[in-house]
Amino acid sequence: MSALVATGGRPSPHPALPGHEHCITSNEAFHLEALPKSIMIGGGGYIAVEFANIFHGLGVKTTLVYRGTEILNRFDMDLRTSLHEAMSKKGIEIVCCAVAEEVVRRDDGRLDVRLNNGETCKVDQFMLAMGRSPNTEGLGLDAVGIETSATGAILVDRYSRKAVGAHIMGPDAGEMAQLLGIPLKAGVTKDDFDRAMAVHPTAAEELVTMYKPNYRVRKGERID
C-alpha cells in the first residue's frame, strides 16, 4: 500500500525577528479588515514580489525589503533587473541588501520597522514573505522511516528534484508558461525546440529561435 503526503506548507512566521507577532503573512493579507495606506513586505521571492504588485495596484504605498542584491533570486538575471526597474518605475520602493531588525507597535497602531541599514520606516502593515515551512510535523513520518530535512521537508529522489524550466516576463507570459509545461513534461530536448517553426511575429517565437545563449551568468555575474 502507498500513501501520498500532500499536506502543503505554511508561511514562516520568522520568530527570530523581534516584533514578528505584529506582522502578517500572505495568509492574513486576504483577511485584512481594512486596506492599509502603507505596507512593507519583507522578502524577495515571487510571493513577496506578487503581493508588492497587488498592494501597489490597490493604491497602497508599498515598500519591498530584501536581503539579497536583487529580487527573485535564482530567476533569470535579465528578468530580475527588468522587473525591478518596472516595479520601481510604477512607484514600488525596493530596498535591497537590507533586512528588518525589529518591528515595534506604536501608540497610534502603526508599525515602526527598523532596518539594518539604519532606516526606520513607519507603515500600517508589515508582511513577512520569507519562506514557507512544510506541514509535516505530527504525521509520524519518522516512525515509518521517511526522512525529512532540518526544516521538515520530505527528502525526495532525483526524479522529484529534476527541474527544467523557463522564466518569461511580459504580456501573456502565463499562457506561454502553461503551454511550455506540456513539452517539458513530455521530455523534449533543446534540439526539439530548435527544430520547431517560429510563428512570427510573436513573443513566444523567442523560445524556438534562441539557438545559443546570448551570454552566460555565473553567481549573478555576466561572464561572457
Interface residues with ligand FAD (CB under 6 A) are 6-8, 26, 47, 135, 139
Cβ closer to ligand FAD: 6 or 143? Answer: 6
Cβ closer to ligand FAD: 8 or 187? Answer: 8
Smallest distance, ligand FAD to C-beta of residue 43, A: 11
Of all residues in the shown chain, the one whose CB is closest to ligand FAD is: 8
Residue 40 makes CB contacts below 8 A (sequence gap 6+) with: 62, 63, 64, 65, 100, 111, 113, 121, 123, 125, 126, 127
Smallest distance, ligand FAD to C-beta of residue 172, A: 15
Query: Residue 59 CB: number of other CB atoms within 10 A?
Result: 9
Cβ closer to ligand FAD: 57 or 220? Answer: 57
| Cell numbers 502603526: residue | 110
Alpha-helical (H) ranges within 58-201 are 77-90, 158-161, 173-186, 190-195
Smallest distance, ligand FAD to C-beta of residue 219, A: 28
Cβ closer to ligand FAD: 7 or 149? Answer: 7
- Give pairs for 175-178: CB < 8 Å, separation 24+: 176/203, 176/204, 176/207
- 127 in Cβ contact with 23 (< 8 Å): yes
Smallest distance, ligand FAD to C-beta of residue 164, A: 17
Query: What is the DSSP track for 23-34?
Result: -B-HHHHTT-SS
Smallest distance, ligand FAD to C-beta of residue 224, A: 34
Smallest distance, ligand FAD to C-beta of residue 45, A: 10
| Three-state secondary structure call for residue 70 | coil
Cβ closer to ligand FAD: 46 or 220? Answer: 46
* Euclidean distance between CA atoms 93 and 183, whole angstroms: 38
Cβ closer to ligand FAD: 109 or 174? Answer: 174
Among 30, 26, 31, smallest CA distance to 41 is for 26
Query: What is the DSSP track for 189-222?
Result: -HHHHHHSPPPSS-STTHHHH--S-S--EETTEE
